[in-house]
A and B are shown apart, each in its own frame.
Chain A
């Protein structure tokens, strides 16, 4: 798999570490009333879809940036790659 890195162009997937579902960006509010449940769901539960999946890839053997890769888990086709920073900012993080 080649990951089209937004800054560096196509990079071999072997340079990356996969850190899981990109929903991990959306950390729950620790002050909310149901924080314990929300954190359990956030840390332990996954949608795990067959099809389009947004996930965090860390460019460990590269520029050490975090990416949000949108990928099809049935075909391994890569649909979109963005800097995780931009996605996090958009989500108000």
Chain B
């Protein structure tokens, strides 16, 4: 079943009786070539690209809850490729390019909106750092523009430009960045994978691994044992919990990140703005709510909810940047559990257990990575070789002194 304007028109005239479920509810089979653990964005994208790009369809995605119940449905939907380091930027730029063709590729409306991502700077040193990052982005084929104060004023006149402590000195703009509809990304990948024969098994929690002679031959689940040629963990915030069952200790801590939405307002912010002096970023959803967030709470958590001090801190950042926000009422706040790695960068690699693979460490930035993560993980699973743009995202990079630390904050996950 494909989507098109004609189809919508035809359905409208016939009472919308023709829409069918987007994916099947299959029973688990005894064996698959590849079992993917985690039906979030990355797991579903991996299954989709394995099927579509590599022709591998004897695959199951096992998800402990319902499809999209994790961070894929909890994030603030920002997509961008404005990283600096060579281990990261080409990967995120590949992701950006995949976003640009995604809706045509999987024939589903993911509401990808390239509305621009603007990082504000508030000091000369910060402007220098942005110039450097912008140049690194351009060298990796991404777009970057440096704006001065007037350039920013022309876009967002309501910012507090003359703030006594943090005057707005300019910004680094990536026009191709923007937002996408998070749930629809999961649904689109799920539908595309299902159509090609991938089994999506919901309410199926992985409780253990079948490991024989150092080789992973399948998983134990709440819906029975499933044997597999390869097992690919893609459990985001639960990665340590899942892979602990295979005897692995990871360079990861799980932390909670909160997000906030105001009541619906008339259009006021048409892009994404980030405050450079505190941690605060904001965009406006198509429904009108201001969607914003900031720092992680800072302590290990699997609770999917945060505490009030961070809410206060985020709101203070908002008030410093755009005092008008004080008039808006906060409607909802929620949290998600994130896999914070030791250098703030992700891992896409094999593990010391044969046929067991890891995709983890996405921190608070894994939504934008969804297409490239799936693309590169599928490449690794199908060909046995790392994709060139993800080759540095190794599990053993800390041992080798090859951390990819954008912030230079060292091995303290709550600082990344």
Kindly provide the distance from the CB of A19 to the nearest chain B CB, expressed in whole angstroms: 8
Known interface pairs A40-B398, A43-B411, A74-B302; A1-B307 also in contact (CB < 8 Å) = yes
- Contact indicator B253/A76 (Cβ below 8 Å): no
CA of A52 to CA of B414, assembled, Å = 19
- Contact indicator A46/B250 (Cβ below 8 Å): yes
With a cutoff of 8 Å between Cβ atoms, the chain B residues found around residue A7 in the complex are none
Interface size class of B (residues with CB under 8 A): 20 to 34
Kindly provide the distance from the CB of B324 to the nearest chain A CB, expressed in whole angstroms: 26
- Contact indicator B298/A40 (Cβ below 8 Å): no
- Contact indicator A45/B302 (Cβ below 8 Å): no
25 A-B pairs with CB atoms under 8 Å apart are A12-B309, A13-B299, A13-B307, A18-B298, A19-B412, A20-B253, A20-B413, A43-B411, A44-B251, A44-B399, A45-B251, A46-B240, A46-B251, A46-B252, A47-B249, A48-B254, A49-B240, A49-B241, A50-B241, A55-B300, A71-B299, A73-B254, A74-B302, A74-B303, A76-B301
CA of A74 to CA of B301, assembled, Å = 6
Q: Which of B303, B411, B413 is the one whose CB lies under 8 Å from A73?
A: B303
Interface membership of chain B positions 237-281, coded 1 if the CB is closer than 8 angstroms to chain A and 0 otherwise: 010110010000111111000000000000000000000000000
With a cutoff of 8 Å between Cβ atoms, the chain B residues found around residue A76 in the complex are 301, 303, 307
- Contact indicator A75/B303 (Cβ below 8 Å): yes
Q: Indicate whether A14 reaches chain B with its CB closer than 8 angstroms.
A: yes
Known interface pairs A50-B241, A73-B301; A45-B250 also in contact (CB < 8 Å) = yes
What's the dominant secondary structure at chain B's contact region?
Answer: mixed
- Contact indicator A44/B240 (Cβ below 8 Å): no
Q: Indicate whether B342 reaches chain A with its CB closer than 8 angstroms.
A: yes
Interface residues of B (CB under 8 A from A): 238, 240-241, 244, 249-254, 298-303, 307, 309, 342, 398-399, 411-414
Interface membership of chain A positions 19-61, coded 1 if the CB is closer than 8 angstroms to chain B and 0 otherwise: 1110000000000000000001101111111100101000000
Known: A46-B250, A48-B253, A49-B241. 12 other contacts (CB 8 A): A13-B307, A14-B309, A18-B298, A21-B300, A40-B398, A44-B342, A44-B399, A47-B244, A47-B249, A50-B302, A73-B302, A73-B303
- Contact indicator B398/A48 (Cβ below 8 Å): no
- Contact indicator B302/A44 (Cβ below 8 Å): no
With a cutoff of 8 Å between Cβ atoms, the chain B residues found around residue A40 in the complex are 398-399
- Which of A1, A17, A48 counts the most B-chain CB atoms under 10 A from its CB? A48
Known interface pairs A13-B309, A14-B309; A48-B301 also in contact (CB < 8 Å) = no
- Contact indicator B309/A44 (Cβ below 8 Å): no
CA of A1 to CA of B299, assembled, Å = 11
Interface size class of A (residues with CB under 8 A): 20 to 34
With a cutoff of 8 Å between Cβ atoms, the chain B residues found around residue A75 in the complex are 303
With a cutoff of 8 Å between Cβ atoms, the chain B residues found around residue A13 in the complex are 299, 307, 309
- Which of B250, B302, B309, B412 counts the most A-chain CB atoms under 10 A from its CB? B302
With a cutoff of 8 Å between Cβ atoms, the chain A residues found around residue B250 in the complex are 45-46, 48
- Which of A21, A41, A44 counts the most B-chain CB atoms under 10 A from its CB? A44
CB nearest to A48 among chain B residues = B240
Kindly provide the distance from the CB of B363 to the nearest chain A CB, expressed in whole angstroms: 14
CA of A28 to CA of B74, assembled, Å = 39
Kindly provide the distance from the CB of A35 to the nearest chain B CB, expressed in whole angstroms: 13
With a cutoff of 8 Å between Cβ atoms, the chain A residues found around residue B249 in the complex are 41, 45-47
- Contact indicator A48/B303 (Cβ below 8 Å): no
CB nearest to A46 among chain B residues = B253
Kindly provide the distance from the CB of A59 to the nearest chain B CB, expressed in whole angstroms: 14
With a cutoff of 8 Å between Cβ atoms, the chain B residues found around residue A50 in the complex are 238, 241, 254, 302
Interface membership of chain A positions 62-73, coded 1 if the CB is closer than 8 angstroms to chain B and 0 otherwise: 000000000101
With a cutoff of 8 Å between Cβ atoms, the chain B residues found around residue A20 in the complex are 253, 412-414
- Which of A14, A18, A50 counts the most B-chain CB atoms under 10 A from its CB? A50
With a cutoff of 8 Å between Cβ atoms, the chain A residues found around residue B412 in the complex are 19-20
- Contact indicator B413/A44 (Cβ below 8 Å): no
CA of A76 to CA of B302, assembled, Å = 9
CA of A41 to CA of B251, assembled, Å = 9
